[in-house]
Amino acid sequence: MNKEFKAKIDRAVNNANLTGALGKFSEAYKVNRAKAYEGIDFEELRGRVACIKSEAAADLDGLAEEFRKNAEALGAKVFRTSDPHQVKEYILKVAQEAGVKTVVKSKSMATEEIHLNPYLVKNGISVAETDLGEWIIQLAGQTPSHMVMPAIHLTKEEVAELFSKEVEERLAADIPRLVKVARNELRPKFLAADMGISGGNIAVAETGSIVLVTNEGNARLVTTLPRIHVAVIGVEKLIKEFAGVAPILEALPRSATAQLLTSYVSIISGPTQNDDGSPKELHIVLMDNRRSEMARDPKFKQALQCIRCGSCLNVCPIFRLVGGHVFGDIYTGGIGTILTAWFDELKKSEDIQGLCIQCGNCTQVCPGKIDIPELILEIRRRLVLEKGQPLLQKAIFSVVNNRRMFHGMLRAASLAGKPFSSGKFIRHLPLFLAELTDGRSLPAIADKPFRDQFRDLKQPVCAEKAVFYAGCLMDFAYPEMGVALIKLLNKAGIEVIFPDEQTCCGAPALYNGAYEVAAQNAADNITALLAAEASYVVSACPTCTVALAHDFQKTLESVGRTEWLPKAKELAAKTVDLSTLVKRLVDAGRLSFKEGEQLGAVTYHDSCHLKRTLKVFDEPRELLEKAGYQVTEMFECDMCCGMGGSYSIKLPEISAPILQRKLQNIKDTGAPVVAMDCPGCVMQIRGGMDQDGAQVRVQHSVELLVDRIKG
């Protein structure tokens, strides 16, 4: 990551106004969004929206032509182009031919995308943004930081400052008063403008209609008062049928601003009359700018299902920390990363794609059902293909692919770490490695890894066997968790097998775009784990479980090693996470808990992969309750802890404040123990608690459960 980008992040996370405003907003958004969707089956609704949008994306060309035909039949002029520059030239030509001096605009991301305003201004046309947020940033000479709330990064004091300059009067930071000033300043501009430029939220091929969704009422004025109306619309806004508008209107306001419907929705089908009786000129510009190319890409066509609600930004733990401007000038947040890679260029996304921690929050709320984290991984993969892996990373991954060498190095690290560790932690690392331990202690590498301890474990001989997949952290940092797991399964009459040939699950390579490395890890593990006869393959690390149960197949397929797929499927079917397995064993009466003891409060942290990919969240809570603990929920229990594998190493300036928030939420419950199902989260949170000095025990569930089981 380049220095300038790092500096940008640094400035953003240290901007208390920004992180304060965004933090408060994201908390309120979660509650309000849930309320707006009350009584609505969100999964059903987004299924319909995704279907309408994906069908449209599959036939952009056909729909664009149908739209043109129908809109032109109604009297509109339709201009279709793939070239952003031609959009600008066309609008300028229309303006010049009609003697346009002034333009009023309602919000349009498509015109932001092509930098229309400076082009018109350069050619002598005055342009006023009329959406309040857009006007604010126009006065500030900035770019939008959020698709729906462009000026969310500015305080009322900053807005008062800007407005004071504009009206040459000292204005107080009184929001209703500032809004009045905007109304009064912009009203004459609306009445005098020769041309109105809008975007479009939906374009309907069947009827040639465009749909505008706003709250302020500016789009109604922009499309009514000036004698010429130009609508600039990305072709991905096309849908086939008029009936498809309703479901999008159900989802868009609820997801964008937690409203049941915005104040205004305008459906314009062809030009109407001007108020002086003359016919209005209506120009509709259908802009492609690589959208059709995107539609032909088997992976990225999904991104055209976006309805631009911005909810992926609102739930993103990174966005709420750094705001929009770190992501770029136009499209921001998760979906913005993807759109920037396409509409601008892949190279531009090089730094920003690294901001995604892969927590999956956005996948839960996206009304277009877009798997944003997966598409960001795909960007990573393509960047690696295009540019090659950075040398150091390459070296690391080649070591990871050489199991003996990798494990040998981990053992060596156990000795090398000694001078810096005290007890269970490495507290400080020297020189450039110091930032790894900034705000968080790292676990010392175990003296004796799990694989060595396993040989000395005495197990009963049982008919039923389970293969244990430990994963690197449990094997080399937290072997005691593995030992607990074996003890627990033995009590249910299951004998555990530990194939020595198992190696890294490949997640670190995968999340860094090194798919070839990850695929080799997958193949090695499939061979190792399927060699023994067993009923299950169990893992107590959700990231590893996801690798075994989901990622292996996808990775092998995407590098073309399809001969491995049947075996990958076989492994996936056998793979189970620990909490799910234990819950099943308890339900079947094969495990039972000791009774009659109150163990006090425990709070539970949901790990990203367990909650959102594996959909496991009730099971661990139920088991802890049965074991005698009282589960006290923390605020934002399922928000990422900031670990994200190597993320915490690459972007410690973001990871650290996310961790601090998590620590605070844990401490606020007053529970003396926090439980979780992921050794990565344990590493992050335990390390954070150690540096914080708080008296909260951080434990993997298995450690809390094992001694409470009878037998």
Partner 1 sequence: MFEAFKTRAEGVGAEVHRVATREEALLFIRWFLETERINESPGSGALWAKSALLDGVPESEIPRHPGLSHDVSRDRAAQAKLGISEAQWGVADTGSLVLDQGAPEQRLVSSLPTIHLALLPTGNILAGKTQVFAKMNPATSKYIAFITGPSRTADIERVLTIGVHGPERLVIVCIDDVEGGTR
Note whether 216 binds partner 1 by CB under 8 A.
Answer: yes
Note whether 207 binds partner 1 by CB under 8 A.
Answer: yes
Q: How far is the CB of 247 from partner 1 (least distance, A)?
A: 8
Q: How far is the CB of 44 from partner 1 (least distance, A)?
A: 13
Which window, 20-28, 443-451, 590-598, 608-616, contacts partner 1 (CB under 8 A)? 20-28
Q: Which of 3, 122, 169, 273 binds partner 1 (CB under 8 A)?
A: 273
Distance CA 509, CA 519 (A): 9
Give whichever of 152 and 294 is closer to partner 1, judged by the CB atom.
152
Q: How far is the CB of 176 from partner 1 (least distance, A)?
A: 5
Distance CA 681, CA 660 (A): 13
262 touches 65 (CB < 8 A):
no
Q: Which of 246, 395, 412, 531 binds partner 1 (CB under 8 A)?
A: 246
Give whichever of 202 and 446 is closer to partner 1, judged by the CB atom.
202
Checking phi first, is residue 492 left (phi over 0); if not, alpha (psi -120 to 50) or beta? alpha
Give whichever of 154 and 365 is closer to partner 1, judged by the CB atom.
154
Q: Which of 179, 410, 497, 530 binds partner 1 (CB under 8 A)?
A: 179
Which window, 273-281, 381-389, 482-490, 701-709, contacts partner 1 (CB under 8 A)? 273-281
Give whichever of 183 and 448 is closer to partner 1, judged by the CB atom.
183
Q: How far is the CB of 265 from partner 1 (least distance, A)?
A: 4
What is 256-306 written as a DSSP string?
Answer: HHS-SS-SEEEEEES--B-TTSPBPEEEEEEE-TTHHHHHHSTTGGGGGG-
Q: How far is the CB of 13 from partner 1 (least distance, A)?
A: 20
By CB under 8 A, how many residues form the interface with partner 1?
A: 67
Which window, 216-224, 362-370, 373-381, 429-437, contacts partner 1 (CB under 8 A)? 216-224
Q: Which of 8, 77, 80, 220 binds partner 1 (CB under 8 A)?
A: 220
Distance CA 545, CA 434 (A): 31
Q: Which of 51, 171, 267, 572 binds partner 1 (CB under 8 A)?
A: 267
Note whether 25 binds partner 1 by CB under 8 A.
Answer: yes
Give whichever of 23 and 417 is closer to partner 1, judged by the CB atom.
23
Q: Is 98 helix (H, G, I), strand (E, B) or coil?
A: coil
Note whether 530 binds partner 1 by CB under 8 A.
Answer: no
Note whether 182 binds partner 1 by CB under 8 A.
Answer: yes
Q: How far is the CB of 367 from partner 1 (least distance, A)?
A: 15
Q: Which of 5, 21, 42, 691 binds partner 1 (CB under 8 A)?
A: 21
Footprint on residues 605-644 left by partner 1 (CB under 8 A): none
Closest by alpha carbon to 160, among 177, 173, 150, 170? 173
Q: How far is the CB of 330 from partner 1 (least distance, A)?
A: 18
Name the one residue in this structure whose structure tokens are 């405003």. 21
647 touches 676 (CB < 8 A):
no
Distance CA 577, CA 413 (A): 29
Give the strands of the sheet with 425-426, arranged side by side.
421-422, 425-426, 442-443
Give whichever of 194 and 297 is closer to partner 1, judged by the CB atom.
194
Tokens for 155, please give them: 């305080």
Q: Which of 50, 78, 221, 659 binds partner 1 (CB under 8 A)?
A: 221
Distance CA 286, CA 79 (A): 6
Give whichever of 276 and 563 is closer to partner 1, judged by the CB atom.
276
Note whether 175 binds partner 1 by CB under 8 A.
Answer: yes
Per-residue mark of binding to partner 1, 112-151 (x: CB under 8 A): ------------------xxxx--x------------xxx
Q: Exposure pattern of 7-16 as b/e (b: 16+ CB <10 Å)?
A: ebbeebbebe
The secondary element (H helix, E strand) that includes residue 698 is strand 697-700
Which window, 50-58, 269-277, 556-564, 619-627, contacts partner 1 (CB under 8 A)? 269-277
Distance CA 411, CA 477 (A): 10
Tokens for 140, please give them: 């500030």
Distance CA 361, CA 637 (A): 12
**682 Cβ contact list (under 8 Å, min separation 6):** 478, 676, 698, 699, 700
Burial of 86 (0-12, 13-18, 19+ CB in 10 A): middle
Note whether 250 binds partner 1 by CB under 8 A.
Answer: yes
Note whether 225 binds partner 1 by CB under 8 A.
Answer: yes
Distance CA 244, CA 252 (A): 13
Q: How far is the CB of 12 from partner 1 (least distance, A)?
A: 18
Phi/psi at 26 (5° precision): -65, -35
Q: Which of 152, 284, 494, 678 binds partner 1 (CB under 8 A)?
A: 152
Q: Which of 117, 266, 490, 655 binds partner 1 (CB under 8 A)?
A: 266
Note whether 594 binds partner 1 by CB under 8 A.
Answer: no
Q: How far is the CB of 189 from partner 1 (least distance, A)?
A: 11
For residues 324, 154, 126, 330, the Cα torsion angle rounded to the nearest 10 degrees is: 0
Distance CA 415, CA 309 (A): 52
Note whether 292 binds partner 1 by CB under 8 A.
Answer: no
Q: How far is the CB of 264 from partner 1 (least distance, A)?
A: 6
Number of H helices, E strands in the chain: 36, 21
Q: Exposure pattern of 588-597 as b/e (b: 16+ CB <10 Å)?
A: eeebeeeeee
Give whichever of 20 and 408 is closer to partner 1, judged by the CB atom.
20
Give whichever of 243 and 415 is closer to partner 1, judged by the CB atom.
243
Name the one residue in this structure whose structure tokens are 């857009």. 134
Q: Which of 110, 154, 492, 538 binds partner 1 (CB under 8 A)?
A: 154
Give whichever of 25 and 635 is closer to partner 1, judged by the CB atom.
25
Note whether 44 binds partner 1 by CB under 8 A.
Answer: no
Q: How many C-beta neighbours within 10 Å does residue 646 have? A: 15
601 touches 630 (CB < 8 A):
yes
Q: Which residues make up the interface to partner 1 (CB under 8 A)?
A: 21, 24-25, 28, 74, 130-133, 136, 149-152, 154-156, 159, 175-176, 178-180, 182-183, 186-187, 190-191, 204, 207-209, 215-218, 220-221, 223-225, 242-243, 245-246, 249-250, 257, 259-276
